[in-house]
């Protein structure tokens, strides 16, 4: 297993404001798979993703990525782990506003010794003609594509996406999903996608449904739909 | 790192902000560096020229010029001396020109133009004097009713501050300066004018200390007959006359004794030949009678002279005591017991040092001398009594012929006694005469010391004040600069934080991709470093460029050769490295703490909400509540603004305080001083003019805590009836009344015990302060003239100062200084003019700082609130209301800063101001007139209004669609 999550529990707050967000989550994901994490708002999806990404700590349990127990890493080692393994994509892109598309990608190119070819990536993501533009000059979809390129440039083994299409319209969302699919095929990147777009579950290898901090459903698809064929 | 590309764009986008900050740095560093740099340039120029022109180690003046031998003796001991005699002569346009002869070894003349005077009728002038009177080289000038050709202009190191008297508050280069003539010319001047100051400059070679030199000069023998000054000659004559009377008396005594001896032998003979006849008796008695008569005549002179000598010795002993620091006074009656008890005390003490032994020795010698003289005096008295009774006996003798027989028996007895006594008297007479002569020669010489003044270079404001003047400006400028740089560095960090906050989600994203804090910290530090470093370099450069401008005043006021630029390394470090280091430190601390937030929190744009932000404001109206919430939300910006405004206001208070203090000084000098003329006399007349008020003035020094050094104070003994002062002087013996100027300068209070010292005599005087009175000019300590005379051992009617409401007709040679109220006020005014430029600079800088700080921070806070402003615009609030909500907040901060900063700044300035004027010989308070406060508040308010207007225009530009751009 590439990702092994074992009985993780996570709570926030103390006393009156105490909430248990993850109540013992156990699962494993194979390398190269796309996995969708579905569930209602507030169910703990982002929390799960963040703990796997080493951005958030857990109260108990264990998370192993590529056999590294990341819950035992200190802050510095966690940065290194993220630097070496992870790419992140957020709902609101989080691009550096006063850097161009290409420069935004280069920001993360800096983090690895063996980056992907930036022009090829621009091409794949359809950003070649926009590469000199600033984020404010782009549409939401274009910005998200730029964010994807930024996450991919260092060729991460694991790509974590938190609602990547959450702020996008139908068409743009579909394009993003098609790209995700394409990248998975081309680079073999393992992907965890948090979403409340249930249509996605048909195009991914694995579906994990979370409800109230626990896995309510966890299954693999034997037949995958192409992203271009999804409808919602 | 590619991320760094955004720095240039950030700079471009916010060029107003960073430009303004850079401007502030450049501006303040420019000022500070030029101030400090000009100080260094002045110091360097003065130091190198002092070395080149052989600045003296000190100077002294004497009544009688030293002989060649004495100068050689001093040189052998380790003190090279060169005569720097001078005469003060009337020069151009009612000025006084002090004329010296050219110098060879010490304090040599640095020519600026032309050449030295080497012919009769030529003169070289101090450069500012020549310039102020428009006299060029080659032209002529009338000095002391004689025309001189000006051969050159220049400066000397011992008159870099060209004041007439060492204690003058300010120089007036048009009214007083110096000139140099050739030796031949100077000798002619010497022949003509008797009012010459015999001044010498000295340089020590390291084997001799100044104190040792001074002691040597006090001991130095001199020829009283050579005293050229006629007034001094008068004094010497009076003393010498007493001595001559005594010698004359002794001579008369010897003659009389001889006659007496003759007479007694004749008497003896006569009494033996009594039987031989009355004729022979009559002869003998006649001769005896006339001899005795002659003796009786000289009795009074003799006794008085002997008494004078004895009193002289007693005075001598008393002054010895003072010299060794003892506070006892002996009289002719008690000296024996006093000295005995002193010997006992010292003998009884454990200390057995050489010093104690010496003291004991001195005391014993003193006592023995006094004893022997007293014995002689008593013998003399017995003898004169004998003569008198013998005389009356002889009268009786010639009168009573009838009682001849009875009388002959008595006579035979008396004659025998007389004969015995006169024989021994005659033999002792020779010894006595030589003793008296010795005594006169040895002891009465000691009564005059040739030394008049002794001044080490370090205490001579003509030499020191140029450098110390500059030093004070420099230190305060450097400190002020560091404070402002820190403020600006902090402001920059606030803006960086603002950027970080704005981009916090982006930073969170970068963290989540594996960026580490170190990398981002480095990135965010670059901009502040860049701005600070670039502006520090520019500012420092500007500072060096401005040195020429800055130094102008100093160059115009002090007299030294043209300056050369220097680039002291410390100033480069201060100007470039220090600001960068401050910026590194401040920004590191602030940015580091910001970047230490967890990535997730950054991603969620969670802000460290201040506790205050949750304060309960239910009771308030909506507008106030909103404003206060906004204030608390932007607490960091508001605190920064508070400090910025605080420093600006501090500067403002400083500027107004200088203005207030100097103008108060000018006014007080004019109003406190009631007399119009004050004459300090070197040689007071026997009888003072009737239209003047007598006073007694001495100059002493007091320790000045501000500089750790000393400063001259003037002790003035005044009469209770003095019309120019209205305070009572009937206190205890050592009670003094001090001027507020003294109280201020030295930090004295009523009831304090203070010590003033006479450095020439190495004596300390203790006083108790009874009262503080208003007297702004100079540094005066007043006391009762009677007590002062007693304290300084002067005669009952002594005076050396005359005060008057009109000009007095006094021979110039008697006058040491004339102080007129007009001159004092003019000097004070000049100080005012000199400070004016500084005041304007400080006020300008403060207003600029105020406006920039306020504008930038308010604008930043508005920027942060763009979203909410856009939102409430959408809700339908109009511009006026929005202004009220957002700019109202600023008003709170401005009002609070003003309310707190004005009084606190005033307190701070009050504390540091004395240090800034520590070398001015007058006490000055950092006073601010009430209208200054009003002007300040007006400046603050109008700056506030202007800034608000500019921000208002900015508010107008925030569009309704701003809300749509924000994606969250
Ligand atoms: N930092 C936090 N402090 C307190 N509660 C939190 C925090 N982060 C998330 N939660 C709570 O945890 C629960 C799960 O959140 P999240 O994982 O973001 O849900 P979602 O499934 O919508 O992504 C929510 O109820 C949320 O309120
Ligand atoms: Mg979520």
Q: Grade residue B627 by pLDDT with cuts at 50, 70 and 90.
A: confident
Distance CA B79, CA B72 (A): 9
DSSP B39-70: HHHHHHHHHHHHHHTT--SEEEEESSPPPHHH
Please, are residues B468 and B267 in contact by the beta-carbon 8 Å criterion? no
Distance from the Cα of B621 to chain A's closest Cα (Å) equals 31
Q: Please report the pLDDT score of residue B722 as a whole number.
A: 87
Tokens of B892: 């709170």
The answer on pLDDT for B692 being more than 60 is yes
Give the global pTM.
0.72
Please name which of B95, B87, B102, B100 lies closest in space to residue B134, comparing C-alpha atoms.
B95
The answer on pLDDT for B446 being more than 50 is no
In whole numbers, what is the pLDDT of chain B averaged over residues? 81
The answer on pLDDT for B155 being more than 60 is yes
The answer on pLDDT for B615 being more than 90 is no
Q: How many helices (H) and strands (E) does chain B have?
A: 26, 20
The correct answer on CATH 4.10.860 for the domain covering B677-805 is no
**Do A88 and B1 count as a contact with CB atoms less than 8 A apart?**
no
Q: If you measure CA to CA, which chain B residue comes closest to A150? A: B513
Provide the domain count of chain A.
1
Mutate to test the interface with A, among B512, B526, B602, B968 (most CBs of A within 10 A): B512
**How would you list the strands of the sheet with B451-456, edge to edge?**
B79-83, B198-204, B58-62, B451-456
Q: Please report the pLDDT score of residue B517 as a whole number.
A: 92
* Interval between CA B39 and ligand 2 midpoint (Å): 66
Q: Please report the pLDDT score of residue B275 as a whole number.
A: 43
Q: Grade residue B938 by pLDDT with cuts at 50, 70 and 90.
A: very high
Collapsing DSSP to helix, strand or coil, A231 comes out as: coil
Q: If you measure CA to CA, which chain B residue comes closest to A96? A: B506
Number of Cβ pairs < 8 A linking chain A and chain B: 80
CB contacts of A65 in chain B (<8 Å) are none
User: What residues contact residue A76 under an 8 Å CB cut-off, 6+ apart?
Assistant: B516
Distance CA A51, CA B59 (A): 86
Which residue has a Cα nearest atom 3 of ligand 1? A12
Which residue has a Cα nearest atom 16 of ligand 1? A44
Q: Grade residue B123 by pLDDT with cuts at 50, 70 and 90.
A: very high
Q: Which element (helix H / strand E) includes B739?
A: strand B735-739
**Do A55 and B505 count as a contact with CB atoms less than 8 A apart?**
no
CB contacts of A108 in chain B (<8 Å) are 513
Strands B709-718 and A3-12: unpaired
Mutate to test the interface with B, among A52, A55, A73, A148 (most CBs of B within 10 A): A55
Q: Please report the pLDDT score of residue A156 as a whole number.
A: 92
Which residue has a Cα nearest atom 26 of ligand 1? A42
β-pair partners for B61: B199, B453
Which residue has a Cα nearest atom 9 of ligand 1? A47
Collapsing DSSP to helix, strand or coil, A196 comes out as: coil
Tokens of B38: 């000009």
Q: Grade residue B280 by pLDDT with cuts at 50, 70 and 90.
A: very low
**Do A79 and B514 count as a contact with CB atoms less than 8 A apart?**
yes
**Do B513 and A83 count as a contact with CB atoms less than 8 A apart?**
yes
Question: B540 or B726: which carries more pLDDT confidence?
Answer: B540
Q: Which element (helix H / strand E) includes B534?
A: helix B517-557
Q: Please report the pLDDT score of residue B968 as a whole number.
A: 43
Distance from the Cα of B603 to chain A's closest Cα (Å) equals 9
Mutate to test the interface with A, among B506, B517, B595, B603 (most CBs of A within 10 A): B506
Chain segment B4-27, per-residue pLDDT in tens: 999 999 899 889 889 999 999 999
In whole angstroms, how large is the CA radius of gyration of chain A? Answer: 17
* Interval between CA B604 and ligand 2 midpoint (Å): 11
What CATH number is given to the structural domain containing A53? 3.40.50.300
Ligand 1 nearest-atom number relative to CA A43: 21
CB contacts of B968 in chain A (<8 Å) are 92
Q: Give me the residue label for tokens 């007071």.
A: B684
Neighbours of B508 (CB within 10 A): 25
The stretch B547-555 carries a mean pLDDT of: 86
CB contacts of A151 in chain B (<8 Å) are 513
Ligand 1 nearest-atom number relative to CA B600: 1
- Among B3, B511, B967, the residue with its CB nearest the CB of A92 is B967
The stretch B442-453 carries a mean pLDDT of: 62
Q: Please report the pLDDT score of residue B442 as a whole number.
A: 56
Chain segment B871-913, per-residue pLDDT in tens: 888 888 888 888 888 888 888 889 999 999 999 999 999 988 8
Distance CA A101, CA A131 (A): 5
- Lining residues, ligand 1, CB within 6 Å: A 12-13, 19, 21, 39, 41-47
Burial B661-694 (b: 16+ CB within 10 A, else e): bbbbbbebbbebbebebbbbbbbbeeebeeebbb
Distance CA B756, CA B710 (A): 10
Chain segment B666-687, per-residue pLDDT in tens: 888 888 888 999 998 888 888 8
Phi, psi for residue B437 in degrees, rounded to 5: -65, -45
Q: Please report the pLDDT score of residue B420 as a whole number.
A: 59
* Interval between CA A21 and ligand 1 midpoint (Å): 7
Chain segment B209-243, per-residue pLDDT in tens: 888 898 888 888 777 777 666 776 776 676 666 66
Q: Please report the pLDDT score of residue B717 as a whole number.
A: 92
Q: Could you tell me where in chain B the CATH 2.40.40 domains are found?
A: 677-805
CB contacts of B513 in chain A (<8 Å) are 82-83, 86-88, 108, 111, 150-151, 154
Distance CA B779, CA B922 (A): 6
Please name which of B903, B916, B927 lies closest in space to residue B646, comparing C-alpha atoms.
B903
Please, are residues B702 and B746 in contact by the beta-carbon 8 Å criterion? yes
Q: Please report the pLDDT score of residue B140 as a whole number.
A: 93
The answer on pLDDT for B932 being more than 50 is yes
Q: What proportions of chain A, in percent to the nearest 5, are helix, strand and coil?
A: 35, 25, 35
Neighbours of B383 (CB within 10 A): 21
- Among B1, B2, B505, the residue with its CB nearest the CB of A94 is B505
**Do B514 and A90 count as a contact with CB atoms less than 8 A apart?**
no
DSSP B815-834: EEEEEEHHHHHHHHHHHHHH
Indicate which ligand has the atom closest to the C-alpha of A90: 2
Please, are residues B285 and B383 in contact by the beta-carbon 8 Å criterion? no
Which residue has a Cα nearest atom 4 of ligand 1? A12
The stretch B170-196 carries a mean pLDDT of: 87
Please name which of B221, B251, B256, B237 lies closest in space to residue B436, comparing C-alpha atoms.
B251
Chain segment A83-121, per-residue pLDDT in tens: 999 999 998 889 999 999 999 999 999 999 989 999 999
Which residue has a Cα nearest atom 6 of ligand 1? A12
Tokens of B549: 């401008």
Q: Please report the pLDDT score of residue B302 as a whole number.
A: 65
Tokens of B280: 């022979």
The answer on pLDDT for A44 being more than 60 is yes
DSSP B403-420: THHHHHHHHHHHHHHHHH
Question: B813 or B554: which carries more pLDDT confidence?
Answer: B554
Q: Grade residue B255 by pLDDT with cuts at 50, 70 and 90.
A: low
Ligand 1 nearest-atom number relative to CA A163: 23
Q: Print the domain residue range for A56.
A: 3-229
Please, are residues B520 and B597 in contact by the beta-carbon 8 Å criterion? no
Q: Grade residue B939 by pLDDT with cuts at 50, 70 and 90.
A: very high
Ligand 1 nearest-atom number relative to CA A48: 17
Q: Please report the pLDDT score of residue A50 as a whole number.
A: 93
């Amino acid at each position: 297993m590439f990702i092994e999550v074992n009985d993780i529990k996570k709570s926030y707050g103390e006393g009156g404001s105490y909430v248990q967000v993850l109540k013992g989550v156990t699962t494993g994901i194979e390398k190269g798979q796309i996995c969708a994490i579905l569930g209602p708002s507030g169910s703990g999806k982002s929390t799960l993703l963040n703990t796997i990404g080493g951005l958030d700590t857990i109260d108990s349990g264990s998370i192993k990525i590529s056999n590294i127990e990341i819950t035992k890493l200190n802050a510095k080692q966690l940065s290194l782990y993220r630097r070496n393994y992870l790419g992140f994509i957020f709902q609101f892109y989080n691009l550096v506003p006063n850097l161009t598309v290409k420069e935004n990608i280069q920001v993360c190119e800096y983090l690895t010794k063996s980056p992907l070819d930036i022009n090829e990536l621009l091409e794949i993501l359809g950003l070649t003609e926009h590469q000199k533009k600033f984020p404010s000059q782009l549409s939401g979809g274009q910005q998200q594509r730029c964010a994807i390129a930024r996450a991919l440039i260092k060729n991460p083994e694991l790509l974590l996406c938190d609602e990547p299409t959450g702020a996008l319209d139908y068409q743009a969302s579909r394009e993003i999903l098609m790209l995700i699919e394409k990248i998975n095929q081309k680079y073999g990147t393992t992907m965890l996608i948090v979403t409340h777009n249930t249509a996605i579950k048909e195009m991914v290898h694995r579906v994990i449904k979370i409800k109230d901090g626990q896995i309510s459903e966890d299954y693999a698809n034997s037949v995958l739909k192409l992203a271009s064929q999804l409808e919602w | 790192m590619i991320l760094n590309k955004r720095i240039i764009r950030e700079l471009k986008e916010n060029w107003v902000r960073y430009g303004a900050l850079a401007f502030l740095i450049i501006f303040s560093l420019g000022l500070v560096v030029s101030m400090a740099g000009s100080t260094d340039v002045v110091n360097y120029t003065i130091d190198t020229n002092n070395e080149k022109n052989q600045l003296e180690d000190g100077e002294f003046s004497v009544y009688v010029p030293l002989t060649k031998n004495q100068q050689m003796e001093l040189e052998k001991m380790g003190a090279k001396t060169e005569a720097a005699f001078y005469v003060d002569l009337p020069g151009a346009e009612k000025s006084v020109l002090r004329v010296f002869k050219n110098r060879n070894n010490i304090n040599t003349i640095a020519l600026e133009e032309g050449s030295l005077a080497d012919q009769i009728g030529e003169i070289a002038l101090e450069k500012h004097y020549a310039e102020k009177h428009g006299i060029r080289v080659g032209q002529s000038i009338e000095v002391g009713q004689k025309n001189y050709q000006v051969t050159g202009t220049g400066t000397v190191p011992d008159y870099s501050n060209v004041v007439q008297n060492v204690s003058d508050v300010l120089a007036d280069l048009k009214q007083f300066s110096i000139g140099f003539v050739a030796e031949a010319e100077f000798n002619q001047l010497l022949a003509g004018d008797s009012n010459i100051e015999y001044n010498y400059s000295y340089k020590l070679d390291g084997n001799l200390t100044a104190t040792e030199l001074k002691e040597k000069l006090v001991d130095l023998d001199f020829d009283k007959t050579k005293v050229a000054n006629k007034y001094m000659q008068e004094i010497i004559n009076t003393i010498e006359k007493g001595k001559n009377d005594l010698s004359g008396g002794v001579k008369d005594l010897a003659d009389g004794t001889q006659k007496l001896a003759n007479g007694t032998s004749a008497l003896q003979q006569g009494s033996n030949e009594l039987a031989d006849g009355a004729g022979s008796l009559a002869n003998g008695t006649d001769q005896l009678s006339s001899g005795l008569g002659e003796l009786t005549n000289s009795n009074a002179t003799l006794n008085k002279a002997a008494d004078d000598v004895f009193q002289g010795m007693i005075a001598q002993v008393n002054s010895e005591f003072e010299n060794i620091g003892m506070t006892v006074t002996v009289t002719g009656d008690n000296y024996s017991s006093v000295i005995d008890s002193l010997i006992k005390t010292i003998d009884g003490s454990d200390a057995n040092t050489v010093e104690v032994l010496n003291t004991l020795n001195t005391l014993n010698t003193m006592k023995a001398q006094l004893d022997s003289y007293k014995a002689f005096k008593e013998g003399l008295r017995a003898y004169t009594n004998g003569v008198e009774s013998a005389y009356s006996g002889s009268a009786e003798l010639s009168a009573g012929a009838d009682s001849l027989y009875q009388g002959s028996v008595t006579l035979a007895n008396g004659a025998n006694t007389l004969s015995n006594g006169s024989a021994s008297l005659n033999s002792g007479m020779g010894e006595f005469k030589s003793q008296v002569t010795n005594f006169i020669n040895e002891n009465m010489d000691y009564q005059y010391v040739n030394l008049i003044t002794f001044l080490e270079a370090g205490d001579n404001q003509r030499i020191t004040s140029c450098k110390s003047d500059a030093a004070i400006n420099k230190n305060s400028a450097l400190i002020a600069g560091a404070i402002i740089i820190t403020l600006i560095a902090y402001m920059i960090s606030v803006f960086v934080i603002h950027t970080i906050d704005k981009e916090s989600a982006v930073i969170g994203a970068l963290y989540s991709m594996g960026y580490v804090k170190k990398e981002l910290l480095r990135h965010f530090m670059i901009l502040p470093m860049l701005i600070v470093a670039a502006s520090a370099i520019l500012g420092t450069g500007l500072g060096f460029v401005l040195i020429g401008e800055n130094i102008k005043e100093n160059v115009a006021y002090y007299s030294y050769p043209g300056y050369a630029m220097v680039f002291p390394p410390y100033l480069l470090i201060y100007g470039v490295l220090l600001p960068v280091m401050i910026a590194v430190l401040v920004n590191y601390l602030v940015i580091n703490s910001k970047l230490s937030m967890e990535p997730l929190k950054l991603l969620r744009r969670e802000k460290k909400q201040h506790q205050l932000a949750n304060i309960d404001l239910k009771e308030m109206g909506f507008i106030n509540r909103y404003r206060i919430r906004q204030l608390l939300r932007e607490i960091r910006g508001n605190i920064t603004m508070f400090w910025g405004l605080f420093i600006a206001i501090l500067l403002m208070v400083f500027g107004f305080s200088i203005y207030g203090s100097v103008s108060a000084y000018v006014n007080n000098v004019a109003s406190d001083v009631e007399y119009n003329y004050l004459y300090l006399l070197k040689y007071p007349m026997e009888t003072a003019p009737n239209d003047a008020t007598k006073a007694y003035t001495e100059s002493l020094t007091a320790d000045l805590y501000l500089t750790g050094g000393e400063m001259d104070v003037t002790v003035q003994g005044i009469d209770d009836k003095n019309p120019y002062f209205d305070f009572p002087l009937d206190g205890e013996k050592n009670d003094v009344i001090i001027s507020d100027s003294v109280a201020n300068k030295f930090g004295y209070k009523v009831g304090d015990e203070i010590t003033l010292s006479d450095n020439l005599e190495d004596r300390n005087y203790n006083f108790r302060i009874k009262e503080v009175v208003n007297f702004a000019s100079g540094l005066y300590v007043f006391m009762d003239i009677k007590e002062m005379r007693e304290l300084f051992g002067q005669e009952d009617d002594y005076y050396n100062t005359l005060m008057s409401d009109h000009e007095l007709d006094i021979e110039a040679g008697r006058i040491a200084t004339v102080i007129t109220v007009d001159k004092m006020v003019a000097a004070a005014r000049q100080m005012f003019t000199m400070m004016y430029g500084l005041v304007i600079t400080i006020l300008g800088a403060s207003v600029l700082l105020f406006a920039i700080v306020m504008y930038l921070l308010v604008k930043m806070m508005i920027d942060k609130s763009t979203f909410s402003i856009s939102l409430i615009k959408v809700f339908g609030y109009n511009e006026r209301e929005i202004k009220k909500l957002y700019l109202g907040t600023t008003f709170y901060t401005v009002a609070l800063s003003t309310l707190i900063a004005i009084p606190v700044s005033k307190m701070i300035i009050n504390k540091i101001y004395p240090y800034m004027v520590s070398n001015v010989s007058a006490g000055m308070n950092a006073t601010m007139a009430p209208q200054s406060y009003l002007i300040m508040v007006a400046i603050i308010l109008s700056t506030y209004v202007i800034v608000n207007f500019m921000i208002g225009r900015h508010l107008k530009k925030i569009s309704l669609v701003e809300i749509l751009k924000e994606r969250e």
